[in-house]
């Protein structure tokens, strides 16, 4: 049966559900050791919350409904909509939470509720597994996580004019993003398949390949790394990294890929004919400004200092990238595992 995950459609009654999701459902992050006296970090619908990597892998993270009295109202809306299909209750719909990583190319279904189970979110519903372990999407300190909350059609229906009927159709949808402070550069490696190798005329053992976007070749005009650079990584390698994101060797490989992409960016910056004339105000809101923020704080003085280093001492800039990414620790952890395995 074909699945249909596409943009939300404004069917009868569902705009009310969409508005409710957007206005009343939030994602809240409770740092380890926090108490009721400490306000949690809050991410509203369709926004990005930047948190440090340690918080991502240690904090309790919950979905929360802000207005308890709206739960019954939304159930009634779903019941009314279900009658369009000839169903007496909302059981043909589910509310599903997905966790995904663009870097590692996976999307996991984390939780599935019926509208009758919405009360579970009123006091805050933890995204941790019942045994307290963390799902894969909450074990990625440096890659960022995307959470999609959608009302989906959980069974195929008889086609009717004006009504969705395919299994998996998203009827309403919001998204939350968790990102670490230096992740905003926008880097998502592309799978290097055998077909892509042939297209690019690459050898079979080529593991990574950098290609400047022919549609946006001007580095200073790019907003995100993906706008300027297509960074390909062997597709089998990406699958293995996705399956074992926290293994020390996997963490090392992910870090190496990220650093290699930034090294290429630093090299391309050095090749600019007018590199000496680049001013902070011209690049601050663009890709180079995001590159600076990988190593810099957000104040103007620090950004200007790192722009000067990027221009005049690129090797120092790259060294600081390795420091921020904890590259030495990744190498050490991987070697420790190897040594332990040989004993």
Per mean pLDDT, which of 1-10, 27-36, 182-191, 319-328 is the most reliable? 319-328
Cα 250 to chain center, whole Å? 18
Give the dihedral of Cα atoms 124, 130, 131, 137; nearest 10 deg: -80
Beta strands in the chain (DSSP E): 25-30, 41-43, 47-50, 60-65, 93-101, 106-113, 125-126, 145-153, 170-179, 190-192, 208-212, 229-234
Kindly state whether residues 313 and 333 are assigned to the same domain: yes
Q: Give residue-wise pLDDT tens across range 76-96.
A: 777 777 777 777 778 888 889
Q: Are residues 196 and 160 in the same domain?
A: no
Same domain for 165 and 292, yes or no, is no
171 and 204 together in one domain: no
Within a domain: residue 5? Answer: no
Same domain, 137 and 198: no
Enter the pTM of the model.
Answer: 0.64
- Nearest Cα residue to 169 out of 4, 286, 307, 316: 4
What pLDDT is attached to residue 2? 42
Which of 38-42, 78-82, 319-323 has maximum average pLDDT?
Answer: 319-323
Last residue of a domain, one of 127, 150, 179: 179
Per-residue pLDDT, 106 = 83
Does 134 share its domain with 234? no
Is residue 263 included in any domain, yes or no?
yes
Question: Who's near 146: CB < 8 A, 6+ residues apart?
Answer: 99, 100, 101, 102, 175, 176, 177
Asked whether residue 63 is domain-assigned, the answer is: yes
pLDDT tens string 157-183: 787 777 777 888 888 899 999 876 555
Q: Are residues 216 and 304 in the same domain?
A: yes
- Statement to judge: residues 90 and 23 lie in one domain: yes
Which of the two residues, 138 and 260, has the higher pLDDT score?
A: 260
Specify whether 320 is located in the same domain as 244. Answer: yes
- For residues 269-287, average pLDDT: 92
Of 179, 212, 239, which residue constitutes the final position of a domain?
179
Domains held by the chain: number: 2
Q: What is the DSSP letter of 32?
A: T
Are residues 32 and 164 located together in one domain of the fold?
Answer: yes
Say how far residue 227 (Cα) sits from the centre of its chain.
17
**Structural domain contains residue 2:** no
The domain boundary residue, chosen from 179, 199, 220: 179
- Closest to 22 (Cα-Cα) out of 72, 78, 70: 70
Are residues 172 and 205 located together in one domain of the fold? no
Examine the pLDDT at 8 and tell me if it is beyond 50.
Answer: no
Instruction: Answer whether residue 281 is part of any domain.
Output: yes
Residue 260 maps to a domain: yes
Of the candidates 57, 142, 73, 129, the one whose C-alpha atom is nearest the C-alpha of residue 101 is 142
The residue range of the domain holding 141 is: 14-179
pLDDT value at residue 71: 62
Q: Which of 78-92, 187-201, 213-227, 252-266 has the lowest mean pLDDT?
A: 78-92
**Same domain for 202 and 305?**
yes
Query: Per the domain annotation, does 4 fall within a domain?
Result: no
Residue 277 makes CB contacts below 8 A (sequence gap 6+) with none
Across the range 259-275, mean pLDDT stands at 94
In a domain, 257, yes or no: yes
């Amino acid at each position: 049966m074909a699945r249909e995950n596409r943009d939300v459609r404004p069917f009868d009654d569902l705009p009310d559900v969409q508005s409710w999701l957007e206005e009343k459902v939030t994602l809240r992050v409770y740092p380890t050791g926090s108490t009721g006296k400490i306000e949690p970090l809050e991410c509203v619908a369709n926004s990005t919350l930047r948190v440090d990597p340690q918080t991502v892998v240690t904090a309790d993270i919950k979905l929360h409904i802000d207005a308890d009295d709206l739960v019954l109202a939304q159930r009634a809306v779903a019941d009314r909509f279900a009658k369009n299909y000839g169903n007496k209750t909302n059981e043909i719909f589910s509310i599903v939470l997905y966790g995904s990583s663009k870097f590692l190319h996976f999307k996991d279904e984390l939780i599935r509720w019926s509208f009758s189970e919405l009360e579970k979110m009123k006091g805050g519903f933890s995204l941790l597994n019942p045994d307290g372990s963390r799902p894969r999407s909450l074990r990625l300190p440096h890659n960022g996580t995307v959470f999609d909350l959608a009302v989906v059609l959980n069974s195929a229906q008889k086609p009717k004019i004006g009504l969705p009927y395919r299994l998996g159709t998203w009827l309403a949808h919001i998204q939350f993003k968790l990102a670490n402070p230096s992740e905003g550069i926008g880097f998502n490696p592309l799978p290097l398949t055998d077909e892509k190798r042939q297209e690019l005329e690459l050898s079979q053992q080529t593991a990574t390949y950098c290609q400047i976007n022919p549609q946006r070749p001007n580095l200073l005009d790019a907003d995100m790394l993906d706008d300027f650079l297509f960074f390909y990584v062997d597709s089998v390698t990406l699958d293995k990294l996705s399956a074992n994101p926290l293994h020390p060797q996997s963490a090392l490989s992910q870090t190496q890929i990220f650093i290699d992409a930034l090294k290429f960016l630093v090299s391309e910056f050095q090749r600019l004919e007018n590199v000496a004339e680049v001013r902070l105000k011209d690049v601050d809101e663009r890709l180079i400004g995001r590159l600076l923020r990988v190593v810099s704080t957000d104040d103007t003085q620090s950004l200007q200092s790192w722009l000067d280093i990027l221009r005049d001492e690129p090797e120092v800039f790259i060294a600081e990238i390795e420091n921020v990414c904890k590259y030495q620790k990744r190498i050490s952890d991987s070697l420790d595992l190897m040594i332990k395995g040989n004993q």
